[in-house]
């Protein structure tokens, strides 16, 4: 995870204001929107961690997705220097919060996906590497760490219909969706399969004996728990 943060910092180090305002790979979002999201995502995860370490549960956003979207829109127009400063500050805050966690603390519950504190590290890992591709500044899916790509495939399997098999030939691994009879088998490199499942453009498109299955929605967030420990 720390590698992802340092790579992101290097990626944006030379950005100027014009580049920040240019379109990202995400429809309707500038690079500034992507940076605003990554910055506030770090702040939100730090908030969850700080409360979890005190044995408290809080929502990531008190105002839900509307608050999240409003923050992104309000901060997307920052200058390049402001984006770098805010990203660095909130990333440092998140890493500081995580550094305080003991082995026991990682199993503390958080409201994010009704999971535990450890799950937020994996979520940030995905967010950082996937959105670095969206910035279109030179990072591509084939730059993703192999273990991050394999993790992302497992996380996104719910986007596939039951019976689908996903086989990463370069690492000799296979994943299955559901317990039904074998159906479509999708084959490719582990990073390309992860990119395809994440809705990004693979360097080499995965293949199947028949048509590639349509992808379903991103795994939904379950209702947030707000009960106190």
For 71-84, how does the pLDDT look when each residue is reduced to its tens digit (9 = 90+)?
A: 999 999 999 999 99
pLDDT, average across residues 157-183: 88
H-helix segments, 76-179: 80-99, 117-134, 146-156
Place of tokens 């770098």: 84
Q: What is the pLDDT of residues 181-223, one digit of tens each?
A: 668 999 999 999 999 999 999 999 999 988 899 999 999 776 5
pTM of the model: 0.93
Number of H helices, E strands in the chain: 8, 4
Rounded CA separation 87/216 (Å): 31
Number of C-beta neighbours around residue 222 at 10 A: 11
Quick one: pLDDT at residue 194?
98
Rounded CA separation 161/215 (Å): 8
Angle, helices 146-156 vs 190-197, to 10°: value is 40
Here the tokens at position 70 are 């409003």
Q: What angle do CA 156, 114, 106 make, to 5 degrees?
A: 95
């Amino acid at each position: 995870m720390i590698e992802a943060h340092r790579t992101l910092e290097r990626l944006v180090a030379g950005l100027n204001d014009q580049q920040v305002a240019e379109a990202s790979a995400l429809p309707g979002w500038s690079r500034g929107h992507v940076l605003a999201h990554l910055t506030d995502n770090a702040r939100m995860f730090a908030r969850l961690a700080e409360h979890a370490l005190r044995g408290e549960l809080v929502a990531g956003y008190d105002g839900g997705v509307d608050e999240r979207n409003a923050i992104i829109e309000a901060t997307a127009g920052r200058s390049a220097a402001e984006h770098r400063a805010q990203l660095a500050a909130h990333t440092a805050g998140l890493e500081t919060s995580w550094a305080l966690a003991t082995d026991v603390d990682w199993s503390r519950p958080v409201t994010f996906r009704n999971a535990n504190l450890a799950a937020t590290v994996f979520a940030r890992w995905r967010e950082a590497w996937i959105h670095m591709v969206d910035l279109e500044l030179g990072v591509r899916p084939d730059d993703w760490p192999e273990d991050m790509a394999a993790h992302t495939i497992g996380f996104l399997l719910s986007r596939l219909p039951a019976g689908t098999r996903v086989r990463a030939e370069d690492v000799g691994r296979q994943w299955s969706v559901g317990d039904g009879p074998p159906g479509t088998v999708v084959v490719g490199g582990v990073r390309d399969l992860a990119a395809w499942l994440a809705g990004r453009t693979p360097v080499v498109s995965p293949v199947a004996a028949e048509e590639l299955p349509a992808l379903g929605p991103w795994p939904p967030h379950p209702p947030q728990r707000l009960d106190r420990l």
